[in-house]
Amino acid sequence: MAKKVKDPGLGEQSITSARRIVNKDGSFNIKHLNGKTGISALYAYLVDISWARFFLLVFLVYFVINMAFAMVYVTIGVEYISVAPKNFFADFVNAFFFSSQTITTLGYGAMAPTSILAGIVSSFQAVAGLLSFSFVTGLLYGRFSKPKASIQFSENIIYRDFKEGKALMFRLMNSKKDVMINPRVKVTLAITEDDEKQGYRRNFYQLALERDHITYLPTTWTLVHEIDKDSPLYKFSSSELKKLNGEFLIMVSYYDEAFNEEVYKLHSYTFEELLMNVAFEKSFYFDEEGYTVLDHHRISRTEKM
Amino acid sequence: MAKKVKDPGLGEQSITSARRIVNKDGSFNIKHLNGKTGISALYAYLVDISWARFFLLVFLVYFVINMAFAMVYVTIGVEYISVAPKNFFADFVNAFFFSSQTITTLGYGAMAPTSILAGIVSSFQAVAGLLSFSFVTGLLYGRFSKPKASIQFSENIIYRDFKEGKALMFRLMNSKKDVMINPRVKVTLAITEDDEKQGYRRNFYQLALERDHITYLPTTWTLVHEIDKDSPLYKFSSSELKKLNGEFLIMVSYYDEAFNEEVYKLHSYTFEELLMNVAFEKSFYFDEEGYTVLDHHRISRTEKM
Amino acid sequence: MAKKVKDPGLGEQSITSARRIVNKDGSFNIKHLNGKTGISALYAYLVDISWARFFLLVFLVYFVINMAFAMVYVTIGVEYISVAPKNFFADFVNAFFFSSQTITTLGYGAMAPTSILAGIVSSFQAVAGLLSFSFVTGLLYGRFSKPKASIQFSENIIYRDFKEGKALMFRLMNSKKDVMINPRVKVTLAITEDDEKQGYRRNFYQLALERDHITYLPTTWTLVHEIDKDSPLYKFSSSELKKLNGEFLIMVSYYDEAFNEEVYKLHSYTFEELLMNVAFEKSFYFDEEGYTVLDHHRISRTEKM
Amino acid sequence: MAKKVKDPGLGEQSITSARRIVNKDGSFNIKHLNGKTGISALYAYLVDISWARFFLLVFLVYFVINMAFAMVYVTIGVEYISVAPKNFFADFVNAFFFSSQTITTLGYGAMAPTSILAGIVSSFQAVAGLLSFSFVTGLLYGRFSKPKASIQFSENIIYRDFKEGKALMFRLMNSKKDVMINPRVKVTLAITEDDEKQGYRRNFYQLALERDHITYLPTTWTLVHEIDKDSPLYKFSSSELKKLNGEFLIMVSYYDEAFNEEVYKLHSYTFEELLMNVAFEKSFYFDEEGYTVLDHHRISRTEKM
């Protein structure tokens, strides 16, 4: 008999239109209201965005800051940064270049401050520039030293014949060259049901796995939940399964050899992501030189049984 | 029957006027005498202060150092930094700007050293400047990579009806978007009593919790200590409770997904922070898009029962 | 009786020409197909290469980038970086130097941009330069803060008389001054056999060790597997042993005092690296000042028994 | 009866003149022969030295490198760095300043390269300078982020009356403001004896402690080993004890709240550091504001019993 487990911390209450608990990228569907934001939140944001967005932002901010300082220098008067005033556009361009030469501490010197005000602004700008690039240095290192995206999940969870019965399976892949050590997996099933008394409620079940830990994970690992009498899914037929409102919450932890850290990764599958009666294709083979070849495109590929 | 536990390391001795053991921010009320201080202590200090104070200090130090070097350059003679001497004020201002252009390695060159002494000072200043900004880079990264302030406690601990009896409750909130994994809580009660033989003594008790660990903490978690026969607080009436001289010492630990580290957080409530016969308001709700909305302002809000 | 253990995650399937599972440096013989590559992969690569290669690459990239920007400045016209045009070679050399002075934010100013286009390119180059050196700073720190190469294995695993029977031995050395704390060792034997039904299959066995953990490892540690009745190797004669197609997979973990981190290290020996009937020479001795002298050259030295 | 324990990894062999196993600072008396040295070893060295030595080295290296480059520029000819040649001393001084302005990327421009050779050297020097300061940035951060010196041991281990018998005691102090969490202590006694058959041998014993772990360590902790029948020291009289050739090896581990890391610290006491029949003075007291005052000078102070 399947036994409910206590709420693992996600809350038992729900509503019909509730979003999935965990997204495919491991994040939660939570909005924070009245939360404090500050430089640390900015840092966290800048560590998490994509490289393209990161560099775009860096250059954009660099551009905008120089625009602002250029306005300041034009207001002060370009004659005080060693430039003969012409028209607004020419002055602004010169001031922009002076600003960029100052904030990067380049300081060619063809332009240089010649008044107290210009001197103060440029002194301040230089130190602010250095601080900004210190910030960027920290950010870059923060981005690199954060273990991420090295574990990949198959797109779907599958339902297939297994031994004398049925089983659910999904697959993990180590997408880096470094081996993952002591990976462990925990699968919690959340089923949302309409309880007449209490409204929409989530019930949680721990799913037993054929193996929930291995020693090394250099390539892929297929996780198997046999739907036997103890499984909470035993009582459902294939067609009933697909209609369930629920989610498989997966927590993988392993020791990351490259970062020398214990890493946790969350993932989830909904019942809509359940494929019926297919099997995973083999994801690796040996090439003629004896190497194991791991094809990242195959991790999610399935074939009819 | 409630059983005392051994001193968890805080000392059993006390005095009437002793401050609380742990402050609301998790720090202890300890003064160090004759402790060594050094650059590491300075670093620790600069990592812990607020951002406002941090930047203020950086700019202040930058200003003061340039003032000091300006004095040196004026003393050497501004003619040796390519400036025609005028009056002290004008010379000092020029020397200040030369100093700031040197320490940031800006080096416009409109001013440049022309004597051996000026050359030595500016050579030294440039390398000292680079070291300082290296220090600031380390500091910035140190500030960002230190997991802090991501767990928030309800302002009060409450005392309310629960099942057939009474219970104490307080609430935790994850104030970040990243989920906390495997949070665990340990509550130690310290009661200070006047023992005729030994003077003021602290007695320690471990408080049993309805649940002391969960798997995920994406939103809030209410901790419950039922005041049953085994509770050290069973023998006190509501009015006696409020008069006790004691403290609830709380240690929370969890795995921080964003920093990939196990994090510990201390907190405490005194009996003065105990609210009688109130209940916590709900802290989150679902919005029309199905998102869970977590309102940071509600974490401490209570309502009459 | 020796008992097989479950596949530790390496896969039971194999082929005749399969490469060893784990290389001497702890890496696996896996090729990734269709894997995503990006800046993080580049970072990981640059953290792992040798110092010589690292510096070579840095200077090479610096050279190539300056070549590219020099071409741009020549195309714009060297007159716009304050240089009187001569011939292509002279112009290119000047442009190269201007580029290097810009990317390092040196900015002597003897050359400086005098047109809008030259100004834009140099502004961009300066900030790109700063970003690049931020990247290099992160890389350097990443290289240093990654615990590596501090544990050394004897070149061979040996087979020798031990007590009344035979034993396998290999040796670990702490090659740093810092002591390793709580080192633990796990040895898994993989033997590949041709199974008529299933083709080449790997069978895995856990090897019992005389001692599999110690408290400190300041010098060397000899690991001993006694080949008694419970050993999977008991049934083989010396000559049969040498012909086995298999591998000793070794996982060492310890707490690294210098890096304050738990560190894992993989290693392997094939049966070709098995030396018969030799013993390890002593690897350390006391000098006349009472110091323990640890000779790194002796870690792998053996003598006839 | 006291039971020997297995060699914890330190080696059972010894000689009369052998140095103590662990020094007061936690290091071992081991010399490495034929060990590889490289940039990582240099980094480790520079992380461990004192701040005074560190800064001295940085400025010394800066000075020496500029001397070397100055020689190069003088050899090339100072006319190619925009300086009119005078005498060797004046030229060398100018070249030195040009070098320092280049390596720090200051680049005033009063001096600037005007030949291809001078251009190449200065281009190289600028990038080498940036790399060096990146290295220093990493070093500074490495120095700060390494948890050290926050635990302090009493200078001596003491032997005193305790309950009905005798006990050994030593004291730990948390010398920082941050609390240490879950500190644990393990004491191993190593006694070196002359065994007629095998020469000088070390025997190891685990010493039982009254308490070997606590929950918090905000101030001090006195460790107590009662010398009861199970103690390996039970058979020795006070005067015999002082003559023993042995060492108390201490391993402390705790979770460092400031660094968010598990930290290990080794220490040792020899029998020469054993004080007989004294007691530790109290190390902290409450001041009139109710603060606990922890006096670092008192940690080792003892008084006659």
In tens, the pLDDT along B42-59 reads 888 899 899 999 999 999
Mean pLDDT, rounded, for A103-113: 94
Q: How far is D258 from chain C (nearest CA, A)?
A: 13
Is there a contact between A134 and B140 (Cβ–Cβ < 8 Å)? yes
At B148 the pLDDT is 66
Q: What is the pLDDT of residues A38-97, one digit of tens each?
A: 888 888 889 989 999 999 999 999 999 999 999 999 999 999 999 999 999 999 999 999
Is there a contact between A22 and A223 (Cβ–Cβ < 8 Å)? no
Chain D contact probe: residue of B40, B205, B252, B266 with most D CBs at under 10 A = B40
Query: If we measure between CA atoms, which residue out of C101, C46, A194 comes closest to residue D125?
Result: C101
Q: Is D152 found in the same domain as D122?
A: no
Which residue ranges of chain C lie beneath pLDDT 70? 1, 147-149
At D148 the pLDDT is 66
Given an 8 Å threshold on Cβ–Cβ distance, is A105 in contact with D109? no
At B169 the pLDDT is 97
Q: What is the pLDDT of residues D123-161, one digit of tens each?
A: 999 999 999 999 999 999 999 887 665 899 999 999 999
Share of chain A above pLDDT 70, in %: 99
Helical ranges in A210-295 per DSSP H: 238-243
Measure CB to CB from residue A135 to each of B140, B149, B286 and give the nearest one: B140
Please, what's the b/e burial string for D211-248 (b: 16 or more CB within 10 A of its CB; e: otherwise)? eeebbbbbbbbebebbbeeebbbeeeeeeebeebbbbb
Q: How many CB pairs under 8 A join A and C?
A: 173
At D176 the pLDDT is 86
Q: How far is A58 from chain C (nearest CA, A)?
A: 9
Least confident of B30-39, C69-78, D110-119: B30-39
Neighbouring chains of B at 3+ CB pairs within 8 Å?
A: A, C, D
Mean pLDDT, rounded, for B181-187: 95
Given an 8 Å threshold on Cβ–Cβ distance, is C105 in contact with B109? no
At B278 the pLDDT is 96
Domain boundary among the residues A123, A145, A167 is at A145
Q: What confidence category does residue B180 fall into, taking pLDDT thresholds of 50, 70 and 90?
A: very high
Q: From C204, which residue of chain A is nearest by alpha-carbon distance?
A: A215
> Contacts of residue A101 in chain C, CB cutoff 8 Å?
107, 123, 126
At B10 the pLDDT is 86
- Between CA A110 and CA A256 the distance in angstroms is 51
Q: Is D161 found in the same domain as D88?
A: no
Q: Is C214 found in the same domain as C77?
A: no
Q: Is B153 found in the same domain as B133?
A: no
Strands (E), chain C: 4-5, 30-33, 151-153, 157-162, 165-174, 180-195, 199-207, 216-217, 220-226, 246-256, 261-270, 274-276, 278-280, 284-286, 292-295, 302-304
Share of chain A above pLDDT 90, in %: 70
Q: From D261, which residue of chain A is nearest by alpha-carbon distance?
A: A261
User: Tell me, what CATH number does C116's domain have?
Assistant: 1.10.287.70
List the domain range (segments joined by +) for residue B93.
39-145
Least confident of B156-170, B262-276, C5-19, C245-259: C5-19
Domain boundary among the residues D145, D172, D204 is at D145
Neighbouring chains of A at 3+ CB pairs within 8 Å?
A: B, C, D
Chain D contact probe: residue of B16, B34, B134 with most D CBs at under 10 A = B134
Q: Is D276 found in the same domain as D191?
A: yes
Continuous segment of H or E residues that includes residue A207: strand A199-207
Pairing of strands C216-217, D292-295: unpaired
Share of chain C above pLDDT 90, in %: 70
> Contacts of residue B33 in chain D, CB cutoff 8 Å?
293-297
At C177 the pLDDT is 84
pLDDT at B288 > cutoff 80: yes
- Between CA D55 and CA D44 the distance in angstroms is 16
Q: Is B22 found in the same domain as B43?
A: no
> Contacts of residue B108 in chain C, CB cutoff 8 Å?
109
Q: How far is D241 from chain B (nearest CA, A)?
A: 31
Given an 8 Å threshold on Cβ–Cβ distance, is D145 in contact with B142? yes
Measure CB to CB from residue C297 to each of D14, D34, D113 and give the nearest one: D34
At B39 the pLDDT is 85
Q: What is the pLDDT of residues A183-205, one digit of tens each?
A: 999 999 999 988 777 788 899 99
Given an 8 Å threshold on Cβ–Cβ distance, is B175 in contact with A32? yes
Q: From C134, which residue of chain B is nearest by alpha-carbon distance?
A: B137
> Contacts of residue D108 in chain A, CB cutoff 8 Å?
109
Given an 8 Å threshold on Cβ–Cβ distance, is C296 in contact with D36? yes
Q: What is the pLDDT of residues A165-189, one digit of tens each?
A: 999 999 999 988 888 999 999 999 9
Please, what's the b/e burial string for A35-64 (b: 16 or more CB within 10 A of its CB; e: otherwise)? beeebbeebbebbbeeeeebeeebeeebee
Query: If we measure between CA atoms, which residue out of C129, C128, C85 comes closest to residue C106?
Result: C129
Q: From A141, which residue of chain D is nearest by alpha-carbon distance?
A: D138
Mean pLDDT, rounded, for D219-239: 94
What count of other Cβ atoms lies within 10 Å of the Cβ of residue B85?
Answer: 12
Q: How far is C87 from chain A (nearest CA, A)?
A: 25
Q: What confidence category does residue D99 fall into, taking pLDDT thresholds of 50, 70 and 90?
A: very high
* Main-chain phi, psi angles of C112, to 5 degrees: -155, 150
Q: Is D128 found in the same domain as D66?
A: yes
Position A75, amino acid: T
At A9 the pLDDT is 86
- Between CA A171 and CA A155 the distance in angstroms is 9
- Of B211 and B13, the structure prediction assigns the larger pLDDT to B211
Q: Is C154 found in the same domain as C134?
A: no
Q: Is B108 found in the same domain as B129?
A: yes
Report ipTM for this prediction.
0.84
Mean pLDDT score across all residues of chain D = 92
Q: From D263, which residue of chain C is nearest by alpha-carbon distance?
A: C260
**Residue holding tokens 């103590």?**
D20
Q: Is C137 found in the same domain as C99?
A: yes
Q: Is D165 found in the same domain as D131?
A: no
At B179 the pLDDT is 87
At B37 the pLDDT is 77
pLDDT at B284 > cutoff 70: yes
Q: Give me the residues paired with residue B188 across strands.
A: B206, B249
Q: What confidence category does residue A148 fall into, taking pLDDT thresholds of 50, 70 and 90?
A: low
Continuous segment of H or E residues that includes residue C103: helix C88-103
At A149 the pLDDT is 60
User: Tell me, what CATH number does D232's domain have?
Assistant: 2.60.40.1400
Is there a contact between D145 and D259 (Cβ–Cβ < 8 Å)? yes
Q: From D264, which residue of chain C is nearest by alpha-carbon distance?
A: C257
Domain boundary among the residues D122, D145, D168 is at D145
Query: If we measure between CA atoms, which residue out of D244, D236, D253, D201 comes closest to residue D7?
Result: D201
Q: Is D271 found in the same domain as D162?
A: yes
C-alpha dihedral sign at D16, D17, D23, D26: negative
Given an 8 Å threshold on Cβ–Cβ distance, is B110 in contact with A109? yes
pLDDT at B230 > cutoff 90: yes
Q: What confidence category does residue A1 fall into, taking pLDDT thresholds of 50, 70 and 90?
A: low
**Distances C119 to A93, A99, A108, C73 between C-alpha atoms, Å:** 9, 11, 11, 10
Q: How far is C78 from chain D (nearest CA, A)?
A: 15
Measure CB to CB from residue D109 to each of A105, A109, A137 and give the nearest one: A109
- What's CA B285's distance to the chain center, in Å? 29
The residue count of chain C comes to: 305
Q: What is the pLDDT of residues D29-77, one digit of tens each?
A: 989 888 877 888 888 889 989 999 999 999 999 999 999 999 999 999 9
Q: How many domains does chain A have?
A: 2
pTM across the whole model: 0.88
Q: What is the pLDDT of residues D179-217, one digit of tens each?
A: 899 999 999 999 998 877 778 889 999 999 999 999 999
pLDDT at B71 > cutoff 80: yes
Chain D contact probe: residue of B80, B120, B123, B255 with most D CBs at under 10 A = B123
Mean pLDDT, rounded, for D89-103: 96
Q: What confidence category does residue B150 fall into, taking pLDDT thresholds of 50, 70 and 90?
A: confident
